[in-house]
Amino acid sequence: MATVNDHYLKLKAGYLFPEIARRVNVFTDANPDAKIIRLGIGDVTEPLPEACRTAMIHAVEEMGDRTTFKGYGPEQGYAWLREKIATHDFQSRGCDIDASEIFVSDGSKCDTGNILDIFGNNNIIAVTDPVYPVYVDTNVMIGRTKGMNEKGEYEGLVYLPITAENNFTASIPSEKVDLIYLCFPNNPTGSVATKEHLQAWVDYARANGSIIFFDAAYEAYITDASIPHSIYEIEGARECAIEFRSFSKNAGFTGTRCALTVVPKTLTAKASDGSDVELWKLWNRRQSTKFNGVPYIVQRGAEAVYSEEGQAQIKALVSFYLENAKIICEKLKAAGLSVYGGINAPYVWVKTPNGLSSWDFFDKLLHTTNVVGTPGSGFGAAGEGYFRISAFNSRENVNEAMKRMSHLMSV
Ligand SMILES: *Cc1c(COP(=O)(O)O)cnc(C)c1O
Span from the CA of 1 to the centroid of ligand 1 (angstroms): 37
What letters, b where the CB count within 10 A reaches 16 and e where it falls short, cover 107-135? bbbbbbbbbbebbeeebbbbbbbbbbbeb
Is 41 in contact with 390 (CB distance < 8 Å)?
A: yes
pTM: 0.97
Span from the CA of 290 to the centroid of ligand 1 (angstroms): 20
Q: How far, in Å, CA of 205 to CA of 354, rounded?
A: 40
Span from the CA of 138 to the centroid of ligand 1 (angstroms): 14
Measured between its terminal Cα atoms, the distance across the chain in Å is 62
Span from the CA of 47 to the centroid of ligand 1 (angstroms): 18
Residue nearest to atom 4 of ligand 1 (CA): 108
List pLDDT tens digits, range 123-179: 999 999 999 999 999 999 999 999 988 888 999 999 999 999 999 999 999 999 999
Q: How far, in Å, CA of 111 to CA of 117, rounded?
A: 10
Could you count the other beta carbons within 10 Å of the beta carbon of residue 333?
A: 14
Q: What is the DSSP string of 2-40?
A: ----GGGGGS-TT-HHHHHHHHHHHHHHH-TT---EE--
Residue nearest to atom 15 of ligand 1 (CA): 187
Q: Please give the CATH number for the structural domain made up of 70-307.
A: 3.40.640.10
Span from the CA of 246 to the centroid of ligand 1 (angstroms): 7
**DSSP code for 293:** -
Closest listed residue to residue 155, CA positions, set 171, 169, 143, 172:
143
Please give all residues whose beta carbon lies within 6 A of any atom in ligand 1, as ranges.
42, 107-109, 132, 183, 187, 215, 217, 246, 248-249, 254, 259
Q: How far, in Å, CA of 218 to CA of 53, rounded?
A: 22
**pLDDT at position 41:** 78
Span from the CA of 109 to the centroid of ligand 1 (angstroms): 5
Residue 400 corresponds to which amino acid? E
Tell me the best of 111, 245, 248, 261 to mutate to test the pocket of ligand 1, counting ligand atoms within 8 Å of each CB and taking the most.
248
Q: Which CATH architecture has domain 6-47+309-410?
A: Alpha-Beta Complex (3.90)
Q: Per-domain residue ranges for the chain?
A: 6-47+309-410, 70-307
**pLDDT at position 411:** 43
Residue 87 belongs to what H/E stretch? Answer: none
pLDDT band at 14 (very low <50, low <70, confident <90, very high): low
- Atom number in ligand 1 closest to CA 253: 9
Stated length of the chain: 411
User: Within its chain, how far is the Cα of 391 from the centroid?
Assistant: 15
List pLDDT tens digits, range 204-247: 999 999 999 999 999 999 999 999 999 999 999 999 999 999 99
Tell me the best of 249, 250, 318 to mutate to test the pocket of ligand 1, counting ligand atoms within 8 Å of each CB and taking the most.
249
Tell me the best of 44, 109, 250 to mutate to test the pocket of ligand 1, counting ligand atoms within 8 Å of each CB and taking the most.
109
Closest listed residue to residue 401, CA positions, set 364, 362, 373, 361:
373
Residue 140 belongs to what H/E stretch? Answer: helix 133-141
User: How much of the chain, in percent, has pLDDT values that exceed 90?
Assistant: 94
